[in-house]
Structure 1
Amino acid sequence: MDIVIVTTVIASLFLVIGVAEPLAARLRLPYSAILAILGILIGSFAIFFLRTELTDALNPVAEAIIGLPIRSNVFLYVFLPTLLFQATLGMNFRRMLDDWVPIMVLAVVAVVVATLSVGYALSWTSALPLAACLLIGAIVSTTDPSAVVSIFRSISAPRRLSRIIEGESLLNDAAAIALFGLFSGFVMLGVPDPKLGDALAQFPVLIVGGALTGWLAARIAIWIMALFSSHELALISVSVALPYLAYIVAEQSIGASGVIAVVAAGLTLNLTGPGRLPPQAWKNLREVWDLLAHWAGALIFILAALLIPRLLEDVRISDFVLIGVVIVAAVAARAVILFGLLPLLTLLRVSPSVERPYRTAILWGGLRGAVTLALALAVTESLRVPVEVKRLVGILATGFTLFTLLVQGTTLRSVVRWLGLDRLSAIDEAISRQVVAVALQTVREDVARTTEDYSLTHDVVRSEAKAFGDRLDQAVKTAEDSDDILDRDRITLGLIALAGFERDTILARVRERTISARMAEQTLLDADRLIEGARSGGRSGYQRAARRAVGYGRTLRVAVMLHNKIGLSAPLVRMTADRFERLLSQRLILRDLDLFIDGRIRRIHGRRVADLLNELLTRRIELVEAAMDGLRLQYPGYAEELERRFIRRTSLRFEEREYSAMREDGLIGAEVYTSLMQDLTMRRDAAEGRPPLDIALKRFELIRQFPLFADLDDKAVKRLGRALKTQYFNPDSVILHKDGTVKSVFFIASGAVELESAGQKWRLGRGEMFGQVAILTKNTRRAEVRAIAPSSLLVLDVARFRSLLKKSVALQKAVRASAEQRGIDPDILLMEHTKGA
């Protein structure tokens, strides 16, 4: 085939891709549907010109189109990894965790149910063997995100609806392709009635093997990319290689799911990349992948559509009945999951509620696309599949895909509008009015400065200012006096605006490198939770999200347990350092929010709402400060090291700004500027590194600070330091249970604990001890001890404590004081244990 003609055809396809997007917007149809229609038309015209005798001039072009090397392995090994990988890079994985149950139900359970439903329905209505019917069910069970998400975004559908659709579409590809591999093997081996138990038993192996392969490949790639952090193009090139190598290794070397490997690799890079790679490099990497995925998605649709005329050449009247069976079975299976299983899981409190309009939109939005066509093409190419099976697979998969694109796709926008999902809620309407009023006030100020700077004609300025002022007054009045906004809603609006401004401030600080890329994703997630909390729960929802932002998560508690039980400190070191930096970043951001409250929010919602928001902000600052103080007690000096790092990075930012200004003013040339920036980059790379955190307590220095051990000599202090063990406890952790046996005495190195016994409570802090009374009285403990702050405790066993008690007068005085506080005779308590002292 002439390379010139092939190049012309490929270039023309890119031209078609460029035309399709504005055409879809103009016709208000799904972009993928337009691509499919154009592909079908191109393929049909190519066949027409080859078979007609009207002209032979276009035969070379038609032959080039028909002869394009479009095989299923091109779709599966070239285009599919690109689409999956970009989707995982673009998804907010932590936010999707909020809806992980409905996403997994739709991505896995719904795929299996649809496969079985379509398979058995076809086996009852056709002469195909069950294995072939189940194979068709697996092919048509995967949905296409690009075909529907763009519609939701264009009509301002709820974000949660888009997240569920994206998560389902991403993960169900893996489930459907895994089932496709199983059933295609049965068909090729000639097994008419496969044992579903044996087939599904292989499913976890495919999933786990693919996940481990993708995770390991991504970790290796991230390590290499971190080494190349100063070479952006090299870094991006490694990211391009990652999904393809993960896919090939999983499929060809391990026999696992390549799709799962790509998804796992993308999720690992999504979660780890922002903290390991430079912010600008990460941003450019994402942009490159967005472009690659746009091209891949368009090409996979248009190239697959080119094949549709050939796949439908042998269609018969009876085949339309079978297409109807597939449509009914697939839609019914999806409806059973959405309107049967999901409400049941919600009733059992296993899954968050998914509203009925959402479920209806998800049902009608289950469009099929290029992956379905690619899987069908793979079957039609196989020489080991019977001819009639290949024919029906191609026709049924193609017919069902066209139905979803041309019927469901073209009507989905109307369905969403009928459900009312395109309309803003009352609170969102109020937000839009608030945004308009605030924006117009800012615009008026900027316009006033501009007219003054450029000395514009006074009469023109006055007339335009009057017109603009009237519009602004109307917008402010609408925002302030709207009857449908209650005081409670005004507070909610203010909190949503405050959390949105906090998010914008975080992004600005990340761009300035005031906040590290490591913390960017976590702090942005906290801001998103504040927005969602305020939107759904008002003031109480906002406060819950604020407390969660400074609280201790389950992973940190697990890290503490690993350190205490088996001495594995690495997770605790990393998470504690992350917590230090996260709290410091929150404190820096919160200090900037009061100006926003006193400025924009006060102008829109009045003094009372602004004062309340200032009060809530003060409480948040106090929460952060308290958490920082607790960490400072545990690890003195580390917060100061982070603050020094912040000052160094800020000074470098200011230095870069000055160099840029000097270059723009012509004070320095390009050569000098380049040299200065190279030096600054080296110093910035050095400043990016976070100082190491040593969580090991320096026992000897710490023991000297305890008044209880003040009278011990150096030799005794060293022996005591070797005998003491360190344990860490999070707030609300129970250290000693009531009625338990006490085997050690605890000395509080940092933090605070609360003792509760017989309805009375005592609080102990740094330098104090507990557990000694139960040991000396030889009684089962009747008090419960709970940490009320992050606490580091030094633990001493009973024998060593008794030996120490005989030698230390200061320790005897402390025991005497604690006994008196509890109403116990200290002389009786100490008499036996200090003999021979």
Structure 2
Amino acid sequence: MDIVLVTTFIAALFLVIGAAEPLAARLQLPYSVILAILGICIGASAIFFLQTELTDALNPVAEAILGLPIRSNVFLYVFLPTLLFQATLGMNLRRMMDDWVPILVMAVVAVVVATISVGYALSWASGLPLAACLLVGAIVSTTDPSAVVSIFRSISAPRRLARIIEGESLLNDAAAIALFGLFMGFVMLGVPNPSLADALARFPLLIAGGAFTGWLAARLSVRLMALFGGHELAVLSTSVALPYLAYVVAEQSVGASGVIAVVAAGLTLNLVGPGRLPPQTWTNLRELWDVLAHWAGALIFILAALLIPRMLEEVRIADFVLIGVVTLAAIAARAIILFGLLPLLTLLRLSPTVERPYRVAILWGGLRGAVTLALALAVTESFRVPDGIQRVVGILATGFTLFTLIAQGSTLRWIITRLGLDRLSPIDEALSRQVIAVALQTVREDVARTTENYDLSREIVRSEAKRFGERLDDAVKAAEDSTDILDRDRVTLGLIALAGHERDTILAKVRERTISARMAEQVLSDADRLIEGARTGGRNGYNRAARRSVAYGRGFRAAGFLQSRFHISGPLARMTADRFELLLSQRLVLRDLGAFIDGRIRRIHGRRLSDLLHELLSRRVEAVETALEGLRLQYPGYAEELERRFIRRTALRLEEREYAAMREDGLIEAEIYTKLLEDLASRRAAAEERPHLDIALQRIELVRQFPLFADLDDASLKRLSQAFRTRYVNAGETVVSKDTDAKSVFFIASGAVELETAGQTWRLGRGEMFGQMAILMKKTRRTEVRSIAPSTLLVLDEARFVRLLNRSGALQDAVRASAEKRGIDAVTLLPANSHRP
């Protein structure tokens, strides 16, 4: 094959790809559908020019087109990893996890149901062997990620709907390809009636093996990227190698799912990368993969569409009936899952509600594309598959793919419009009016400054200002006086705007490196929760998200358990350091939000709402300060080191800004500027290193600060610090319940608790203890203890407490004082050899 012709054809394909996007926008059709139509036209034209006698001049071009080395492996090993990897890099994992049940149901259960439904329906209608029919079912059961993602990004689909369908399309390839491999083996071996149990039994190995392979490959790649941190091109090159190596190793060496390996690698890099790579490098990496995925998605469609005329050359009238059977069976199987299983799971509280319009859109949005064609092409390429089965599989898969792309793809926008999913909700409408009003007010101020700077004619300025002012007044009036928006909704709008500005502030702090890249994803995730909480739950939802952002999570408590029981302090030290930095970042951002409330929200919504938002903001600041103060008390030296690090990073940012200003003003040459930046980069790398937190040393210092243990020597303090277990509790969490056996005494390292017994309530704070009376009186607890702030408790078991009580006079005095408050005779509680006059 002439390399010049092939190169020319590939270059021409890029011209077609470039022209397809504006053409799709002009025709109001999905981009992938336009690419598929163009590919079919090119393939059909090549066949026509070879078979007609009109002209021979285009025969070399037609032969080059039809002779392109397009094989199934090209789609599966070159294009598919690119699309999957880029999609996972752009995913919001926290938002995706909110719908993990429907995503997994559609990605796994729906594939199995569709395979069985299509297989048995086709077996009944065609008389083909069951193995071949189930093979067709496996081929057509996977929704194509490039088709689905491109279409949903080109129309005004709700974000949640797009997340569910994109998540399904990313994960269901593994299930479908696994079933395809099994049934392909049965067909090649001549097994007419295979066992479904054999196919389903391999699922766990395929998924687990692929997930582990992808995770391991990503972790090793991230370590390598971190070593190349100063060389951005090396980092980008490593990221390009990652998905392909993960796919090949999983498929060829592990025998697992390469699709799952690529998805796991992308998810791992998505989680770990922002914290290990420089912010600009991570941004450039994402942009590189956006371009690669755009090209891969376009090429996979147009090249797959080139094959369609060739695969349909031998189509017969009876084949159209079988295509109809496959289409009806596939849609019916998908409908059973969407309108049968998902509502049942929602009824059993195993899945979040997926509204009926969403389910209708998901039903019609199950498009097939290049993956289905690639699997069908693999069947037609195999010499071990009988010719009759090759022909039927190729025609049925191609016909069904055409139906989904042309019929479903071209009408999906209309379906979403008919369902009302493209319309904004009342609260979003109000939010859009608020945005318009705020934007116009800002524009008016900027225009006023511009006219002053350029000394424009007063008459022109006055006339244009009048017209603009009328529009602004209308926008402000619409935002303030909407009769269809309740006060509750106005609060929600204000909270959404406040949380949105908080997210923008975080992004600005990350870009200027005031907030480290390590903390960027966590802080942004908290801001997303605030936006979603305000949108779905109003004031209560916002407050819940705010409390969650400063609360101790399950991972923190698990790390504390590992440290106290097994003396594994690494996870706890790392998570404690993260919590320190997270709280410092939150405090930094929250202090900038007051000006936004006064400058923007107050002008649109008035003083009443702005005062309410200030009150909510002050509560958040207080919660963050309380949590931060608790950590300072627990780890006094470490907080100071982190604050010093923050000051150093801020100074480096300001220093870089001064060098850039001098370079722009021509005060220093490019060589000097480059040298200064190199020196700055080395100092910045040192400043980015977070100080080490030694939990063991910090705990000794913490115990030493308790007045109760003031009379213990260093050796006793060390032994005591090792005997303590650490327990972290959130505000409102019950520490001790009534009517439980007394087995431990609790010492408050930070935070505060509330005790309630016999109708009486009192509070204890840092340095105090509780639980000792029940042990000394050998009675069941009659007191309930709840945390009223995020608290760190040191827990000592009964035996160690009694031994400590015998040795410590200060502890004996504390027990006496506590007993006297409750009217209990301390002499009867303390051991005989510990009584004091």
Q: Return the TM-score normalized by structure 2.
A: 0.96
Task: Specify the SS of the correspondent of 1:351.
Answer: coil
Deviation at 1:726, TM superposition (A): 3.7
Partner of 1:82: 82
Deviation at 1:734, TM superposition (A): 5.5
Partner of 1:262: 262
Task: Specify the SS of the correspondent of 1:147.
Answer: helix
| Equivalent position amino acid for 1:624 in 2 | V
Q: Tell whether the 8 Å contact from 2:827 to 2:835 is kept in structure 1 after alignment.
A: no
Task: Specify the SS of the correspondent of 1:763.
Answer: strand
Deviation at 1:638, TM superposition (A): 2.4
String of CA shifts for 1:680-718, please: whole Å, max 9, x gaps.
111111111222222225455445433333344x37745
Q: Provide the rounded CA distance (Å) in 2 between the counterparts of 1:305 and 1:704.
A: 74
Partner of 2:170: 170
| Equivalent position amino acid for 2:466 in 1 | K
Deviation at 1:741, TM superposition (A): 4.4
Q: Tell whether the 8 Å contact from 2:83 to 2:145 is kept in structure 1 after alignment.
A: no
Deviation at 1:234, TM superposition (A): 0.3
Deviation at 1:459, TM superposition (A): 2.1
Task: Specify the SS of the correspondent of 2:726.
Answer: strand
Q: Provide the rounded CA distance (Å) in 1 between the counterparts of 2:797 and 2:22.
A: 76
Deviation at 1:739, TM superposition (A): 4.5
Question: Does 2:214 align with 1:214?
Answer: yes
Moved more, 50-59 or 91-100: 50-59
Q: Tell whether the 8 Å contact from 1:178 to 1:203 is kept in structure 2 after alignment.
A: yes
| Equivalent position amino acid for 2:76 in 1 | L
Q: Tell whether the 8 Å contact from 2:32 to 2:151 is kept in structure 1 after alignment.
A: no
Q: 1:475 to 1:115 in 2, by over 3 A?
A: same
Deviation at 1:796, TM superposition (A): 5.0
Q: Tell whether the 8 Å contact from 1:634 to 1:751 is kept in structure 2 after alignment.
A: no
Question: Does 2:308 align with 1:312?
Answer: no
Q: Provide the rounded CA distance (Å) in 2 between the counterparts of 1:8 and 1:673.
A: 44
Partner of 2:726: 727
Task: Specify the SS of the correspondent of 2:484.
Answer: coil
Q: Tell whether the 8 Å contact from 2:700 to 2:721 is kept in structure 1 after alignment.
A: no
Deviation at 1:116, TM superposition (A): 0.8
Q: Tell whether the 8 Å contact from 1:805 to 1:833 is kept in structure 2 after alignment.
A: no
1:429-440, aligned counterparts within 5 Å? 429-440=429-440
| Equivalent position amino acid for 2:268 in 1 | T
Q: Tell whether the 8 Å contact from 1:700 to 1:717 is kept in structure 2 after alignment.
A: no
Deviation at 1:345, TM superposition (A): 1.1
Q: Provide the rounded CA distance (Å) in 2 between the counterparts of 1:585 and 1:774.
A: 42
Question: Does 2:684 align with 1:684?
Answer: yes
Q: Tell whether the 8 Å contact from 2:83 to 2:146 is kept in structure 1 after alignment.
A: no
Partner of 1:27: 27
Q: Structure 2: which 5+ residue stretches go unaligned?
A: none
Partner of 1:449: 449
Partner of 1:695: 695
Q: 1:808 to 1:245 in 2, by over 3 A?
A: closer
Partner of 1:427: 427
Task: Specify the SS of the correspondent of 1:598.
Answer: helix
Deviation at 1:789, TM superposition (A): 4.3
Q: Provide the rounded CA distance (Å) in 2 between the counterparts of 1:123 and 1:801.
A: 75
Task: Specify the SS of the correspondent of 1:547.
Answer: helix
String of CA shifts for 1:505-544, please: whole Å, max 9, x gaps.
1111111111111111111111112112111221111111
Deviation at 1:404, TM superposition (A): 0.6
Q: 1:11 to 1:269 in 2, by over 3 A?
A: same
Moved more, 664-673 or 791-800: 791-800
Partner of 1:185: 185
Partner of 2:402: 402
Task: Specify the SS of the correspondent of 1:37.
Answer: helix
Q: Tell whether the 8 Å contact from 1:135 to 1:180 is kept in structure 2 after alignment.
A: yes
Task: Specify the SS of the correspondent of 1:527.
Answer: helix
Moved more, 68-77 or 558-567: 558-567
Deviation at 1:92, TM superposition (A): 0.7
Deviation at 1:643, TM superposition (A): 2.0
Moved more, 419-428 or 66-75: 419-428
Question: Does 2:341 align with 1:341?
Answer: yes
| Equivalent position amino acid for 1:541 in 2 | G
Deviation at 1:792, TM superposition (A): 4.5
| Equivalent position amino acid for 1:121 in 2 | A
Partner of 1:245: 245
Q: Provide the rounded CA distance (Å) in 1 between the counterparts of 2:559 and 2:276.
A: 21
| Equivalent position amino acid for 1:10 in 2 | I
| Equivalent position amino acid for 2:193 in 1 | D
Partner of 1:552: 552
Question: Does 2:43 align with 1:43?
Answer: yes
Deviation at 1:634, TM superposition (A): 1.7
1:649-688, aligned counterparts within 5 Å? 649-688=649-688
Q: Provide the rounded CA distance (Å) in 2 between the counterparts of 1:833 and 1:745.
A: 21
Deviation at 1:94, TM superposition (A): 1.1
Moved more, 150-159 or 646-655: 150-159
Question: Does 2:70 align with 1:65?
Answer: no
Deviation at 1:276, TM superposition (A): 0.8
Partner of 2:594: 594
Q: Provide the rounded CA distance (Å) in 2 between the counterparts of 1:41 and 1:262.
A: 33
| Equivalent position amino acid for 2:729 in 1 | N
Partner of 1:328: 328
| Equivalent position amino acid for 2:185 in 1 | G
Q: Tell whether the 8 Å contact from 1:634 to 1:791 is kept in structure 2 after alignment.
A: no
Q: Provide the rounded CA distance (Å) in 1 between the counterparts of 2:736 and 2:429.
A: 53
String of CA shifts for 1:108-147, please: whole Å, max 9, x gaps.
1111111111111101111211111111111111112433
| Equivalent position amino acid for 2:544 in 1 | R
Q: Structure 1: which 5+ residue stretches go unaligned?
A: none
Partner of 2:14: 14
Q: Return the TM-score normalized by structure 1.
A: 0.96
Q: Provide the rounded CA distance (Å) in 2 between the counterparts of 1:451 and 1:719.
A: 72
Moved more, 559-568 or 291-300: 559-568
Q: Tell whether the 8 Å contact from 1:630 to 1:789 is kept in structure 2 after alignment.
A: no
Q: Provide the rounded CA distance (Å) in 1 between the counterparts of 2:714 and 2:442.
A: 70
Q: Provide the rounded CA distance (Å) in 2 between the counterparts of 1:357 and 1:799.
A: 62
Partner of 1:518: 518
Q: Tell whether the 8 Å contact from 1:226 to 1:277 is kept in structure 2 after alignment.
A: yes
Q: 1:715 to 1:4 in 2, by over 3 A?
A: closer
Q: 1:779 to 1:482 in 2, by over 3 A?
A: closer
Identical aligned residues as a percent: 78
CA RMSD, Structure 1 to Structure 2 (Å): 2.1
Q: 1:756 to 1:7 in 2, by over 3 A?
A: same
Deviation at 1:778, TM superposition (A): 3.7
Task: Specify the SS of the correspondent of 1:313.
Answer: coil
Q: Provide the rounded CA distance (Å) in 2 between the counterparts of 1:205 and 1:719.
A: 48
String of CA shifts for 1:414-435, please: whole Å, max 9, x gaps.
1111111111111111111111
Q: Provide the rounded CA distance (Å) in 2 between the counterparts of 1:478 and 1:791.
A: 47
